Amino acid sequence: MKTNELLNNLTIVFPMYNEEKRVQNTIGRLNAFYEKINSFPKIIFVLDGCTDNTKSILKNALKDSIVSNYSKIVEYKENRGIGYAMNKGLDNVKTKYVLFSDFDLSTPLKELYHFSKFVPEFDIVIGSRWLDKSRIKDNPFRKIMSLLSISIIKSSLKLNLSDTQCGFKLYKTDIARKVYEKRTIDRFGVDFELMFIANKSGFKIKELPVEWKHEEESTVHIRDYLITLKELIKVRKNNRKGKYS
């Protein structure tokens, strides 16, 4: 598929929680991307119970910006987690394809040029930080923690994927809805749960190397890795109970 065809039929969903310090930078990068393309994807910003000034700063940043004509803000008061936020965004998608992306654009949108080559052959195309041609910049502690968690996830769920947790995943929208309707996790474990469901359901997944850079002001903390391990146990229990069948 040509990239312009993909972009013209794409919605990008950005889950957001207390992102006031990164709004200006991300909107600037989005504007720069939109200035270079001829077909314009829709954007849904999902404010996951933000308690800071994310909403007001986002609205101000969108004024007179290129992306404002293609954007929608979805919000709710209680912080429910990235999985819940992605699902709320998906509820508002009307295009054939949907990309879920971290708001900090740690994986830049230019990767869509590479992803488009594998659409529509595959149901899901996901980015990986750990393939041979991946280009990553991360601090040593986060890299070690990430590799350790990925190793545990792969062995526990028998997934033949190098990276379930990279926040850059492109779906056919109808497939995304089939996968998300079986979702039980609201927070960071949702990524490996969704990949487990998709794999178990027989959907075709293509994993591609991407550029990835750890951005400052990350809202991911050490406790999140511990919560994710608990969620991994939940996925295994759910599977034994047949909840993903």
For the chain, 245 residues long, the average pLDDT of each consecutive 10-residue run is 96 98 97 96 98 98 95 97 97 98 97 96 96 81 75 92 95 98 94 97 98 70 72 96 95
Query: Is 77 within the bounds of a domain?
Result: yes
- What is the C-alpha separation between 40 and 29, in angstroms, rounded? 14
For residue 126, give the nearest of 160, 165, 175, 88 by alpha carbon. 165
Q: What are phi and psi of 135, to 5 degrees?
A: -120, 105
Query: Is 245 within the bounds of a domain?
Result: no
Query: Is 192 within the bounds of a domain?
Result: yes
Structural domain count, the chain: 1
Query: Is 155 within the bounds of a domain?
Result: yes
| Domain boundaries, position 69 | 3-240
Query: Is 97 within the bounds of a domain?
Result: yes
Q: In this predicted structure, what is the pLDDT of residue 136?
A: 84
Question: Cβ neighbours of residue 32 under 8 Å, at least 6 residues apart?
Answer: none
For residue 126, give the nearest of 70, 74, 181, 203 by alpha carbon. 203
Query: Is 36 within the bounds of a domain?
Result: yes
- What is the C-alpha separation between 226 and 63, in angstroms, rounded? 39
Relative orientation angle of helices 190-200 and 82-91, to the nearest 10 degrees: 60
pTM of the model: 0.93
Q: Domain containing 208 — which CATH number?
A: 3.90.550.10
* Residue 97, both tokens: 């394809």
Query: Is 161 within the bounds of a domain?
Result: yes
Query: Are 41 and 14 contacting, i.e. CB atoms less than 8 angstroms apart?
Result: no
Return the ∠ at Cα 58 (arms to 99 and 69), rounded to 5°: 65
- What is the C-alpha separation between 150 and 104, in angstroms, rounded? 21
Query: Is 180 within the bounds of a domain?
Result: yes
